Amino acid sequence: MNPQSANFFVLTGGPGSGKTTLINHLADMGYLCMPEAGRAVIRQQLGFGGVALPWNDKTAYAQRMYERDMASYQRACRMNGPVFFDRGIVDVIAYLQLEQLPVPELLQSAAFHCRYHTTAFILPPWPQIYRRDQERRQDLPTAIATYRAMMKTYSQYGYALVRVPRLPVAQRTMFILNVIASGRDSNKD
């Protein structure tokens, strides 16, 4: 396990819950942040007519997400200070389990060896802000199922989940930073 992982904080949850907005706000404040792999893979695949898409080849899509998440993790290992991740390696496992697909041993091993801080922040479904787009084609019930899969999988991998309340982005950011500063796991799910 990487000793720096105590400074690696994951934001997870279902699609459309405000994770990327929160990550972008943290980045605007000067924090180091790693982007979400899923959207990047979709944009790339759509750009050149690839098939590694969640509505086409789910296994290939998961593989590309894993590769990007591993690259983000390795990049973060060369950084100093806290690093915030818009999803992590465990999210790929949750995705595969949600889709009832096998989880490769290499991915399981990576999830055990490439650890993040033991506290992971989970953003609950937020129907009022949920929007579908070209890259996010899931409906709200699927977003809720994804949230539940993330809760289950992160717990299986030994993470304590802290639910981030539905608040304006600045308040959500302060909530996360306060939890980190205090070292406590408030609002655990």
Does the pLDDT of residue 73 top 50, yes or no? yes
Does the pLDDT of residue 186 top 60, yes or no? no
Flag whether 189 is in a domain. Answer: no
Residue 7 gets the label, from left (phi > 0), alpha (psi -120 to 50) or beta, of alpha
pLDDT for the residue 136: 52
Flag whether 68 is in a domain. Answer: yes
Flag whether 187 is in a domain. Answer: no
Flag whether 158 is in a domain. Answer: yes
Task: Give the global pTM.
Answer: 0.89
- Binned at pLDDT 50, 70 and 90, residue 3 comes out as low
Residue-wise pLDDT tens digits, 106-160: 999 999 999 999 999 999 886 666 555 565 556 667 778 889 999 999 999 999 9
Does the pLDDT of residue 185 top 50, yes or no? no
Flag whether 73 is in a domain. Answer: yes
Q: What CATH number should be reported for the domain holding residue 55?
A: 3.40.50.300
Flag whether 188 is in a domain. Answer: no
Residue type for position 34: M
Flag whether 79 is in a domain. Answer: yes
Range(s) of the domain holding residue 14: 3-182
The three state secondary structure string of the chain is CCHHHHHEEEEEECCCCCHHHHHHHHHHCCCEEECCHHHHHHHHHHHHCCCCCCCCCHHHHHHHHHHHHHHHHHHHCCCCCCEEEECCHHHHHHHHHHCCCCCCHHHHHHHHHCCCCCEEEEECCCCCCCCCCCCCCCCHHHHHHHHHHHHHHHHHCCCEEEECCCCCHHHHHHHHHHHHHHCCCCCEC
Looking at the chain, the whole-number percentage of residues with pLDDT higher than 90 is: 62
Flag whether 129 is in a domain. Answer: yes
The number of folded domains in the chain is: 1
